[in-house]
Amino acid sequence: MSLPVTDAATSRYDSSHEPLLQIRDLEVGFQTQRGLVPAVRGVDLTLYAGQTLAIVGESGSGKSTTAQSIIDLLPGTGKVTAGQILFEGRDLTTLSAREIQEVRGNLIGYVPQDPMSNLNPVWSIGFQVEEAIKANNIAQGKEARLRTIQVLQEAGLSDAGDRLKQFPHQFSGGMRQRVLIGIGLSSRPKLLIADEPTSALDVTVQRQILDHLGTLTRDYGTSVLFITHDLGLAAERAEQLVVMYKGKVVESGPSQQILANPQHPYTQRLVAAAPSLASRRIQAVKTHDSVEGEIFAQGAIDNTLLERAAERENAAPAKDLISVRNVSKVYRIRKQGFRTDELKAVNDVSFSVQKGTTTALVGESGSGKSTVAKLLLKLESITSGDIEFDGHDVSALKGAELLKFRRRVQPVFQDPYGSLDPQYSVGNTIAEPLLAHKVGTARERQMRVLELLDQVSLPASTRYRYPSELSGGQRQRIAIARALALKPDVLVLDEAVSALDVLVQGQILNLLTELQTELGLTYLFITHDLAVVRLVADNVCVMRKGQIIESATTDEVFDNPRETYTQDLLAAIPGGNFEFGR
């Protein structure tokens, strides 16, 4: 297809009443040693030219599998076992390998999920874009080079001409996603499949990119099939919504209608659990007092949260457990030759945390929030300033004192897949800190493991299992149990719920809140997700470029953000301005 680039758009708008894409009764399965495991079990959807349709569901719901089966990108042993995928009336499931290759890129573009892993690290950006342009016969030779620059500029890389020879690792995540969007749209396809295109990015970057994608596809008249786990995002970006659960479509129709009036119990749960929405509820309850509290019981967030919200208001001022004073951290970055550059990852940061409360550090990636956590955990040394924990200067701790400090302050990290040793059974993982600090006898440690599993609501039999056999939510519970093993006073939660699906996220937040009341824990909660902050934090510090630009109680920050940056962050929460039903 070599439509002239300039007037490609207009002709596509006059859609006949034939749908562009129609999926009928699609079934997809994966061949395993135990036979065929169905992943998609009868999906129907219809997409007209120029429309945007979002498939929403949690991981494992079959939404990505559905999207990938359209252009035969199923991984491994995946196969379409029944049904039809009609694209402009042609059944794509019956095409030969060569025919589907003609469709890919050319008629149907694809924007993948993770910008970090979707560009080949050993080829330059220019090469990878130009390759797509040449393969689809949009342009050849010198013209292909010019077209490459044009494509990248359209995707929002203004200095594309100078950066063609750079490699993916020299681009930020947002930049890479722009490159991938450029590749996806390079041949002006009729349909663009966008599989979670921004879930790996910061909210503000996410908004810019989605706005840009929206403008481009509108201009070219491209239909978009949008895959996401974020209901708010789907509602904001798509006219039509398809909700998938366990391989089936449970609900479909216009977005507004579904959100305002969800019919299926699963959709109702999703709507209730969307954190951006729930956080509004807390606010509502607090201003109008507890009459509307009953609504809340249906959500994933427990009533305890409400009580806590009330408690917070009356709580007597306690002593500071952690106080961070004028702390800076400077990294030296080696440049070519002998020169070095200084990077101020943390710049003159001060805040304090009272015992039994939760303080959230919020910011985009690169804002220095995780570095603060590392400094507090004494995993990195402080360049200047000091951190005091329970009256002791942390940087001066040595030997037995340091061990004692480590027992009292425990971390939980973001990635529940990476932070558990796959070779260790769950029981050993949880017992390891006890062993390392020589706490108790073998039998006592076993008892403690059982107690901890109970605290994080996992059955005792879990101790014999291995991380690979568990879901993301279960793994994060284990990471929390491990952190609690030494009965710490403080948990440093570094993006501890960011990698989880909304429903699971709700459960874990709930668990954390319960544990806090039960054990009197103090949390330092590090996240980029403001919606989550609203649910759990008492105080918020907003970080940007290594500095705390705003810090106040949670309600203050959310109701009257002082800084424009905070306002931007709040505005970028997907679905924030959307009317949800319940």
Partner 1 sequence: MLWYTGKRILQMIPVFFGATFLIYFMVFSLPGDPIAALFGDRPPAPSVIAQIRAEYNLDKPFIVQYFLYIGGLFQGDLGTTYSGRPVADVMASAFPITARLALLALVFEAFAGVLVGLIAGLRKGKWFDATALVVSLLLISVPTFVVGFVLQYVFGIQLGWFRPTVSGDAPWGELVLPAIVLASVSFAYIVRLTRASVADNLNADFVRTATAKGLSRRRVVTVHVLRNSLVPVVTYLGVDLGALMVGAIVTEGIFNINGVGGTVYRAVTLGEGPTVVSFIAVMVIIFVVANLLVDLLYAALDPRIRYAK
Instruction: Please identify, among the stretches 123-131, 212-220, 460-468, 574-582, the one whose residues bind partner 1 according to the rule CB under 8 A.
Output: 123-131
Question: Would you say 195 or 251 has its CB closer to partner 1?
Answer: 195
Asked if residue 120 binds partner 1 (CB under 8 A), the reply is: yes
CB-CB contact of 568 with 555 (8 Å): no
DSSP characters for 270-319? HHHH-HHHHHHHHHHHHHHGGGGHHHHHTSSS-HHHHHHHHHHHHPPP--
Asked if residue 31 binds partner 1 (CB under 8 A), the reply is: no
CB-CB contact of 110 with 184 (8 Å): yes
Residue type at 65? T
Q: Out of 44, 88, 114, 390, point to the residue binding partner 1 (CB under 8 A).
A: 114
| CA 28 to chain centroid | 26
Instruction: Please identify, among the stretches 99-107, 298-306, 498-506, 561-569, the one whose residues bind partner 1 according to the rule CB under 8 A.
Output: 99-107
- The span from the CA of 178 to the CA of 209, in Å, is 7
Supply the minimum distance, in Å, between the C-beta of residue 103 and partner 1: 8
Supply the minimum distance, in Å, between the C-beta of residue 118 and partner 1: 5
- The span from the CA of 359 to the CA of 531, in Å, is 14
Q: Which residue has the tokens 């000091």?
A: 386
Asked if residue 104 binds partner 1 (CB under 8 A), the reply is: yes
Question: Would you say 315 or 333 has its CB closer to partner 1?
Answer: 333
Supply the minimum distance, in Å, between the C-beta of residue 336 and partner 1: 7
Asked if residue 131 binds partner 1 (CB under 8 A), the reply is: yes
Instruction: Please identify, among the stretches 124-132, 239-247, 470-478, 507-515, the one whose residues bind partner 1 according to the rule CB under 8 A.
Output: 124-132
Supply the minimum distance, in Å, between the C-beta of residue 176 and partner 1: 11
Instruction: Please identify, among the stretches 109-117, 152-160, 554-562, 566-574, the one whose residues bind partner 1 according to the rule CB under 8 A.
Output: 109-117
Asked if residue 112 binds partner 1 (CB under 8 A), the reply is: yes
Task: Give, as ranges, the residues between 519 and 558 that touch partner 1 (CB under 8 A).
Answer: none
Question: Would you say 109 or 174 has its CB closer to partner 1?
Answer: 109
Binding string, residues 63-82; x marks residues near partner 1 by CB under 8 A: --------x-x-xx------
Task: Give, as ranges, the residues between 138 and 167 that touch partner 1 (CB under 8 A).
Answer: 167
Binding string, residues 362-381; x marks residues near partner 1 by CB under 8 A: --------------------
Residue type at 133? I
Instruction: Please identify, among the stretches 132-140, 148-156, 316-324, 361-369, the one whose residues bind partner 1 according to the rule CB under 8 A.
Output: 132-140
Asked if residue 97 binds partner 1 (CB under 8 A), the reply is: yes
DSSP characters for 453-500? HHHTT--GGGGGS-GGGS-HHHHHHHHHHHHHTT--SEEEEESTTTTS
Question: Would you say 104 or 448 has its CB closer to partner 1?
Answer: 104
Q: Out of 15, 59, 81, 124, point to the residue binding partner 1 (CB under 8 A).
A: 124
Q: Out of 64, 187, 228, 462, point to the residue binding partner 1 (CB under 8 A).
A: 187
Q: Which residue has the tokens 């009443």?
A: 17
Strands of the sheet with 21-32, listed across from one edge: 35-47, 21-32, 78-87, 90-91
Asked if residue 122 binds partner 1 (CB under 8 A), the reply is: yes
Question: Would you say 105 or 221 has its CB closer to partner 1?
Answer: 105
CB atoms within 10 A of CB 309: 18
Asked if residue 110 binds partner 1 (CB under 8 A), the reply is: yes
Q: Name which of 204, 189, 229, 242 is nearest 53 in CA terms.
A: 242
Asked if residue 132 binds partner 1 (CB under 8 A), the reply is: yes
Question: Would you say 336 or 441 has its CB closer to partner 1?
Answer: 336
Q: Which residue has the tokens 């499931």?
A: 93
Encoded tokens for 199? 């879930």
CB-CB contact of 395 with 386 (8 Å): yes
Q: Name which of 166, 164, 56, 68 is nearest 112 in CA terms.
A: 68
Q: Name which of 310, 395, 382, 324 is nearest 353 in CA terms.
A: 324
Encoded tokens for 424? 């260790």
Question: Would you say 332 or 438 has its CB closer to partner 1?
Answer: 332
Encoded tokens for 265? 């119990």
CB-CB contact of 50 with 23 (8 Å): no
Asked if residue 336 binds partner 1 (CB under 8 A), the reply is: yes
Residue 388's SS3 state is strand
Question: Would you say 128 or 539 has its CB closer to partner 1?
Answer: 128
Strands of the sheet with 490-494, listed across from one edge: 409-412, 490-494, 522-527, 358-362, 539-544, 547-553
Beta strands in 260-396 (DSSP E): 320-334, 340-354, 358-362, 384-389, 392-393
Which chain residues interact with partner 1 by CB under 8 A? 71, 73, 75-76, 97, 101-106, 109-110, 112-114, 117-124, 131-132, 135-136, 167, 169, 180, 183-184, 187, 334-337
